[in-house]
Amino acid sequence: MKNKLSYTVGFLFLLYIFSFFVFQLLGKDKAFSELENRNLSLLPSFSQEKFFSGDFSKDFEKYIADQFPFRNHFISMKAYSERTLQKKDNNGVYIGKDHYFIQNFIKPDMELAKRNATYINDFAKHFNVTLLLAPTSTKILEDKLPPFATPYDEGRYLEDFITLLSGDIKVIPVLETLLAKKNEPIYYKTDHHWTTLGAYYSYRTLAHELGFTPLELNDFDIINASSSFYGSLFSKGNFTFAQPDNLQLFHFKNPPQLEVTYVAENRVTDTLYEYSHLKSKDKYSVFLDNNHPIITIKSSINNGKKLMLIKDSYANCLIPFLTHHYEEIHVLDLRFLNMPLKSYATENGFEDILFLYNIQNFSGEGKLSLLRN
């Protein structure tokens, strides 16, 4: 009887393994995961060189992991089990109070911070440099963190970095602004970005610091563009128990005419919004069609003011506010560039430069060396 039971268990185990092999073999590979918002590994090409170097086995292991049958269901089960066990984070994301997911912030590399400050200080000798480093919900919504969560303090990093900067650089105090507004919906619950409202409050602070008058909320028609937005933090852990976010667009009641050029694609449009993304998983890409190397924006306000903006994706939903104050804006994303920024700014006639990042992204920015050229 005991042997029969052992054989049965062994047979069922082999059948289980074989079934997954068949599903893997017959299933169609997916190139992109909308749930995780990332490209998936595809079947790697074989070569003797890759085989003996070990690269093929590493790539094949990634392929199996990404194309595993029913992968999303297993990720969901993992998230549910960790929630049941009251684990405080999943894949670097804290499961916070009031349905907030908050990203962990590990201790940054201060040697990198010192190098980046040196690059910016040198750049500021030639241009008017403004720095807007936005705190994330990790700092502003600390009261939403689970017990015993210990992310590194974004405020401390910001203070330490500011001490490395020369006095010629203007730092916009949006941390204080957002702390004062923390009880309003200024961050998404399932995404790492601030909401359009959070960007608006920061734009107002930026405007006052730079000496121009910001628009009031009643200058906009505020549109609820989606009530089913599941963002990047949801995707990291596949938290299928998450509640969706609302995504709002602020439309000018008296909008300027725009000419928006996506330089790498040689594509020109008259809007800052790509509405087709509202039908996809990555709805935040409605702002400026996600991220691009260089975007040029020309506005009909005709005041002669120009701005060069070096940024991460936090800037995407704030940039529309700036088109009411600048005739020309060039938006540069260093992740996709490898060119001398000093030369670019000079050749295009820029004097005013704005760096706009969230603190966590900025702390790991490794391409500010482009400022030297």
Please give the span between the terminal C-alpha atoms of the chain, in angstroms, as a whole number.
79
State yes or no: pLDDT of 34 exceeds 90. no
- Confidence at residue 65, expressed as pLDDT on a 0 to 100 scale: 60
Q: Count Cβ atoms below 10 Å from residue 53 Cβ, excluding itself.
A: 11
Q: Is residue 286 within 8 Å of residue 225, measured between CB atoms?
A: yes
pLDDT tens digits for range 226-285: 999 999 999 887 788 899 999 999 999 999 999 999 999 999 999 999 999 999 999 999
Q: What pTM was estimated for this model as a whole?
A: 0.82
Q: Give CA 188 to chain center in angstroms.
A: 12
- Confidence at residue 45, expressed as pLDDT on a 0 to 100 scale: 72
Dist. CA 137–CA 179, nearest whole Å: 10
Q: Which amino acid is at 328?
A: E
- Confidence at residue 235, expressed as pLDDT on a 0 to 100 scale: 87
pLDDT tens digits for range 323-364: 999 999 999 999 999 999 999 999 999 999 999 999 999 999
Question: Where are the alpha helices (H) located in the chain, listed in sequence order?
Answer: 2-26, 48-53, 55-66, 71-84, 110-123, 137-140, 154-162, 174-180, 196-210, 232-237, 319-322, 341-347, 359-363
What are the backbone dihedrals phi and psi of residue 10, each rounded to the nearest 5 degrees, phi first? -60, -40
User: Which of 250, 194, 247 has its CA nearest to residue 219?
Assistant: 250
- Confidence at residue 87, expressed as pLDDT on a 0 to 100 scale: 53
- Confidence at residue 275, expressed as pLDDT on a 0 to 100 scale: 97
Residue ranges per structural domain of the chain: 2-97, 105-372
- Confidence at residue 90, expressed as pLDDT on a 0 to 100 scale: 81
pLDDT tens digits for range 125-167: 999 999 999 999 999 999 999 998 999 999 999 999 999 999 8
Q: If you average pLDDT over every residue of the chain, what do you get?
A: 87
State yes or no: pLDDT of 297 exceeds 70. yes
